[in-house]
Chains A and B, each alone.
Chain A
């Protein structure tokens, strides 16, 4: 095993959160190394094709998925530099004030140790830095005032516009969807051309993936990215109070130690707990930073209730952006739906492609043979859908834990157990019921829903933040309570998840955590 020259910061994972920490710290003059287990994807690798787009997603991941609604890994995970944010839809709704105080306000679930007001300035900073298009004033129907987005809303298309009549008839106000895409040229990156290929990676730079935002900035400031480097352990000193670096295996199977003054785990909600649990020592017998026993606990996801429709005429369904054109927080109140608890975010107008997991064919999974071919011809013109994204409440039983079976690097696999409860089922059903009312109030010729099985999207939790080591793994900056120079970054630190897509909040929390680290460097890095 080779021990390399010590650096200031070593980061496991070069996705949204790792890239943000790297950019801030490299620009602060720190020597930063990012380790990522997959390829070093470049913009030119992002081919406009659902088939080719699968290459940037995980393959043969080290997780055993258990439960009724298995954790979203294959489609939602990342593989390689850029992580899952290389293929994110770039929808950027914020969490709202009611997401931060659920336990205080409703006597259930968990509180965040910070409020919306603590995070709001960082949302505004991220909007400016990565580029967000939308109408912040319109969103202030539901949230406190903040800075305007730096770009006007995106263009809209018929596949989104046809839903507006139905929402209006149900007293649901829709506003332009906030997206991390360029509606106009911005910071040297071109405006979007509305080709709908966001989900397989945007090679033009119009969509704010890490390669054209924080990762690019980090590299420009001198950060080094080592691809094909699989981190297996966080190393600590004899006292157990200080992280000393990361152990990793390179593409040739050689093991290395990268010493550093500060260690950041940014390998997503599933892998961070696996890494901490595999870093147990005599001082941390149950896993690193796990005195609370909460490493791996409170895994959460979102779920969606989708409503499909066929309209007359050509909706130009393949055009636009994959994430959506309009959104609404009208049902975001925790008790907005009678008999169910949790927020709902409504989004309509996502581009529909001919193949892939979100392709038109999967709107009618029962069809095959000539009936499928006939449907595809009709759907190519008239199909559209909208989604109600719903909030899961954190449950300690939903967890990541190590098993005895090992991967090719000698690291134990992890089991992820995930189930919804009756409350989530009630919220799902309530949104289906309202979805049908919305659809019937449009000019759609045919409307239908798929209620076969609840889905799970957006993995979060597992290393939640809180006020101390008794109730959480990290503080609001991502700093572990037990090892001050060890950080965890990403959606894993959310104690509750709201119904908003997580990546905007990941960027905001990471920026906040990184700047705090940079300004407190001498205290934390020692």
Chain B
């Protein structure tokens, strides 16, 4: 196969996956293209996040928007902070967060758990749903006593945008809202 045709085919395959929100995850040493939700269901190991970090992140996502956990909120972010910044699909890049983006998420997660522990003696993931909701409401308004590090409003904004991305920003998400996706590059199947 000549190089030009090969490039074209690779591009077409890539685009089909992209329009479905699929990413390349590593399973058993092999790269497999799947959605973040599928990666979570298959318990694909995290590339960058520690177990506690991923747990906090999932709890944050689910509190910000129901369905984010199952849609693979933590796997999406973990994947995106592991790729070169120029390839990242994160909202963080367009609100002027400096790469490497893992630094932003680690600081955000650390700030949340530190504040949660100071307030309640428990990490964020261990709070009740009502306590998590109250925490986020305070974070949103920059009213968490003793909050340190990143601006609380920025943490809220970026994580909330990430949650919206994984829940509604995909073709499946549009379908759940009853909104036609209208892609120029149609997917080969729904997921």
Contacts and interface: CB of A to CB of B under 8 A. Distances in A.
Given A55-B86, A318-B179, A356 B95 contact: no
Interface residues of B, number: 47
Interface string B153-189: 0001100110011001110011001111111110000
B94 to A, nearest CB: 4
Interface in A348-387: 354-357, 359, 361-362, 365-366, 368-370, 372-373, 376-377, 380-381
A46 to B, nearest CB: 8
Contacts of B98: 60
Contact of A355 (B85, B133, B169): B169
A202 B185 CA distance: 11
Nearest to A370: B66
A188 interface: no
A326 to B, nearest CB: 21
Contact of B184 (A48, A54, A361, A381): A48
A370 B130 CA distance: 12
Contacts of A195: 182-184
A203 interface: yes
B164 A74 contact: no
Contacts of B18: 47, 49, 52
B19 interface: yes
A54 to B, nearest CB: 5
Contacts of B169: 49-51, 354-356, 359
Interface string A167-203: 0000000000000000000000000010111000011
A333 to B, nearest CB: 34
A369 B89 contact: no
A273 to B, nearest CB: 18
A70 interface: yes
B93 A51 contact: no
Contacts of B178: 377, 380-381
What is the predominant secondary structure among interface residues of chain B facing chain A?
A: helix
Contacts of B86: 38-39, 55, 59, 79
Contacts of B173: 354-355
Contacts, number: 144
B177 A74 contact: no
B161 A355 contact: yes
A361 B160 contact: yes
Contacts of A196: 182
B184 A318 contact: no
Nearest to B11: A44
Interface string A307-338: 00000000001110000000000000000000
Contacts of A79: 86
B96 interface: yes
Interface string A51-64: 11011011111000
B182 A48 contact: yes
A357 B91 contact: yes
A204 interface: yes
A436 B165 CA distance: 30
Interface string B74-117: 00000000000111111101111011000000000000000000
Contacts of A193: 182, 184
A202 B65 CA distance: 30
B99 A60 contact: yes
B140 interface: yes
A356 B169 CA distance: 8
A49 B178 CA distance: 17
A75 B93 CA distance: 8
A454 interface: no
B63 A369 contact: yes
A61 to B, nearest CB: 7
Nearest to A43: B184
Contact of A380 (B64, B140, B177): B177
Interface centre among B19, B161, B174 (most CB of A within 10 A): B161
B66 A54 contact: no
A50 B90 CA distance: 10
B96 A70 contact: yes
**3 A-B pairs with the lowest CB-CB distances in the bound complex, closest first:** A355-B169, A195-B182, A380-B177
Interface of A: 38-39, 44, 46-52, 54-55, 57-61, 65, 70, 73-75, 79, 193, 195-197, 202-204, 317-319, 354-357, 359, 361-362, 365-366, 368-370, 372-373, 376-377, 380-381
Interface of B: 11, 15, 18-19, 21, 63-67, 85-91, 93-96, 98-99, 133, 136-137, 140, 156-157, 160-161, 164-165, 168-170, 173-174, 177-185
Given A369-B63, A377-B178, 9 more contacts: A44-B11, A49-B183, A55-B86, A60-B85, A195-B182, A368-B136, A369-B65, A376-B177, A380-B177
